[in-house]
Structure 1
Amino acid sequence: MTERASPPTARVVAILDFLAQHPHDRFGLSELARRLDLSKPTCLGILTTLTDSRYLVRDSQDKTYRLGPRLISLGHTTQESMRVNPAAREELRHLSALCDTPAALSAVIDERITLLELIGPPGTDVGVRVGQSYPFAPPVGLMFVLWDDAALHEWLAKEPTIPLRTDTERLERVIAECRECGYLVERLTPGGRRLYALMAGMSSSLPDELQALLGELISDIGERVYLHSEAETGDRQRHDVSVISAPVYDHHRRQAMVVSLQIGRAMTDAEIVEQSRALVATADALTAQLGGTKPAAS
């Protein structure tokens, strides 16, 4: 049974979402009404109420609207309800400064991977923003299930966003080594990372030929994972690394979040190990903040 929707509420959400997608721009009544396909009286009523409540700010000179200060406190309150407090932000800030790369905290919320916090060096842009989310289904989300057999099997049983091949032997090696070292390194080029995001949003009703082609591009779930054991001794080869992730646990010894370094560049084996160790130390600190316990290595 479909839950009953509220069109008036949907119109309010549409205005807030639109302005959030254009955080550096201001829009007048006529343009907002036109872009969102609303009547001017309806749009004006919503804008006036949101402005009076300080969810929006109206420029009295050019009569344009932008997001308001009340959303700041609302956002911080939302983050803290998801256990992203000032102490957690300080840990991310320290990690980002130490590794000179953006550090992020994310979690699975309502079957979607959601970015809870992102802190990086000034001027960096990794192409994602806080609050952005993706469907939690193969091939997206391995870092959220890699550490627990039950969670892994449940995730693999989900309908994938595209057809996948699964090399069981390779995936078993990935599981064993990542659990031993405590982190996961995803070896993707920037183009591959964009492709993953595109695949995650695509419908499963694509033509068979196109689905097969996309499946070839994505390939196997574990294929793009970097494993230190596969690097030759003294190997100075550089690897294109997208993200390095480590789990954060709660007091039930269950994974609560993932802390990640958003790399997006080539790294040597030594650099990968060095930054990964710093990442695991941060994940352990965040686990301690939650009063969590790291499961014993199996």
Structure 2
Amino acid sequence: MTGRTSPPTQRVVEVLDFLARHPHDRFGISELARRTGQSKPTCLGIVTTLAESGYLLRDAEDKTYRLGPSLISLGHVAQESMRAGPSAREELRALSSAYDTTAALAAIVDDRITLLELVDPPGTSGSEGRGTSVRVGQSYPFAPPVGLMFVLWDDDALRDWLAREPTIPLRTGSDRLDRVVAECRASGYLVERLTPGGRRLYALMAGMSSTMPQELRALLGELISDVGERVYLRSEAGTQRQKHDISVISAPVYDHYGRQTMVVSLQIGRALTDAEIARHAKGVMATAHTLTTQLGGLHPPHDARATRPTPR
């Protein structure tokens, strides 16, 4: 059974929907009333109220109306509220269950990498990821070498990130970084190796500001010296039966502009073969694809191949 509807509210929605379908045009009261099937007095009352609230803009010279700036902030708030909502959590739960490991969703919030959601596989308990030291709300400085997965699929974002003062001394212009960018964009996902240095790096940087003592910078510099050095590349993998210690597999989520807005990840924490890496990556890309769709985002070409993950 459907709930009761409100005809006055429906008329407001009709005005907004009509203008949204013509974002580059302006309309006077007579035409707007005619195009939405409303009387002029009713339409005038609606657009006057919307204009006073900033949801429409009124041109004083020709007395026409178009969409206003308040809709921009409203849209951003709506998009933010959907980022880690119930539907996103359900997708992460399906991913976690399919591959029996922790699934996570992260984004850049207030210029810091922030963990938005974390879901453990069935049979585990606790708010932290199984076998990990991360928790929801934990944040990290968004500067090299931390954050590559958030900029890897966008040239402008990657260039801006590399221009930031790194948290530790490192190289950013290596040929390997070029290979990392090319191969990850071709595959649609990023795989980070599991190394003692990597574990120590994130443990030390959790919650820390981008400014850290020189002694700590020097210590971290001993752990990692090149952006992308911990990334697994299939072209360097060796034999198919060889196993690789993998930390995390990630794929991007896009907004309606086609810009990367979040990252879906599987926390691996063990050795996988090339085939196992590819199978896990397929599930991660499928979840990222679904979340992009839920956000009304635009999928880049490589995402079009993604399918929903299935249990092993």
TM-score (norm 1): 0.68
Which one of the candidate residues 226, 238, 241 is aligned to 2:243? 238
Structure 2 contact 140–205 (Cα < 8 Å) conserved = no
For residue 87 of structure 2, give the secondary structure of its aligned residue in structure 1.
Answer: helix
Structure 1 contact 196–218 (Cα < 8 Å) conserved = no
Structure 1 contact 161–204 (Cα < 8 Å) conserved = yes
- 1:285–1:186 Cα change, 3 Å: same
Q: What aligned pairs does 1:1-298 form with structure 2 within 5 A after superposition? A: 81=81, 83-121=83-121, 122-123=123-124, 124-189=130-195, 192-199=198-205, 201=208, 204=211, 206-207=213-214, 211-232=217-238, 234-296=239-301
Show the counterpart of 1:14: none
Shift of 1:81: 1.6
- 1:205–1:280 Cα change, 3 Å: closer
Shift of 1:84: 1.5
For residue 83 of structure 2, give the secondary structure of its aligned residue in structure 1.
Answer: coil
User: Over aligned residues, Cα RMSD in angstroms?
Assistant: 2.3
Figure out how many residues of one structure are paired with residues of the other and give that number: 219
The separation in 2 between residues aligned to 1:251 and 1:210, in whole angstroms, is 40
Structure 1 contact 115–129 (Cα < 8 Å) conserved = yes
In structure 1, stretches of 5+ residues that fail to align are 1-76
Report percent identity of matched pairs: 70
Structure 1 contact 106–113 (Cα < 8 Å) conserved = yes
The separation in 2 between residues aligned to 1:103 and 1:112, in whole angstroms, is 20
Structure 1 contact 167–222 (Cα < 8 Å) conserved = no
Shift of 1:170: 0.4
- 1:290–1:105 Cα change, 3 Å: same
- 1:88–1:292 Cα change, 3 Å: same
Q: Deviation per CA, 1:198-251, whole angstroms, max 9, x where unpaired? A: 1463775634x764453132121111100011123x432211111111000011
In structure 2, stretches of 5+ residues that fail to align are 1-76, 125-129, 303-312
The separation in 1 between residues aligned to 2:219 and 2:82, in whole angstroms, is 38
Which one-letter code corresponds to 1:241 in the other structure?
I
- 1:79–1:293 Cα change, 3 Å: closer
Structure 2 contact 254–299 (Cα < 8 Å) conserved = yes
Show the counterpart of 1:11: none
- 1:170–1:110 Cα change, 3 Å: same
- 1:78–1:134 Cα change, 3 Å: farther
Structure 2 contact 197–224 (Cα < 8 Å) conserved = no
Shift of 1:85: 1.8
- 1:167–1:268 Cα change, 3 Å: farther
Shift of 1:282: 0.8
Which one-letter code corresponds to 2:167 in the other structure?
T
- 1:97–1:160 Cα change, 3 Å: same
The separation in 2 between residues aligned to 1:134 and 1:169, in whole angstroms, is 26
Structure 2 contact 141–205 (Cα < 8 Å) conserved = no
- 1:205–1:98 Cα change, 3 Å: closer
Shift of 1:255: 0.9
The separation in 1 between residues aligned to 2:289 and 2:152, in whole angstroms, is 17
The separation in 1 between residues aligned to 2:113 and 2:172, in whole angstroms, is 22
The separation in 2 between residues aligned to 1:227 and 1:256, in whole angstroms, is 24
Shift of 1:264: 1.1
Show the counterpart of 1:50: none
Name which of structure 1's ranges 98-107 and 192-201 shifts more when overlaid on structure 2.
192-201
- 1:78–1:288 Cα change, 3 Å: closer
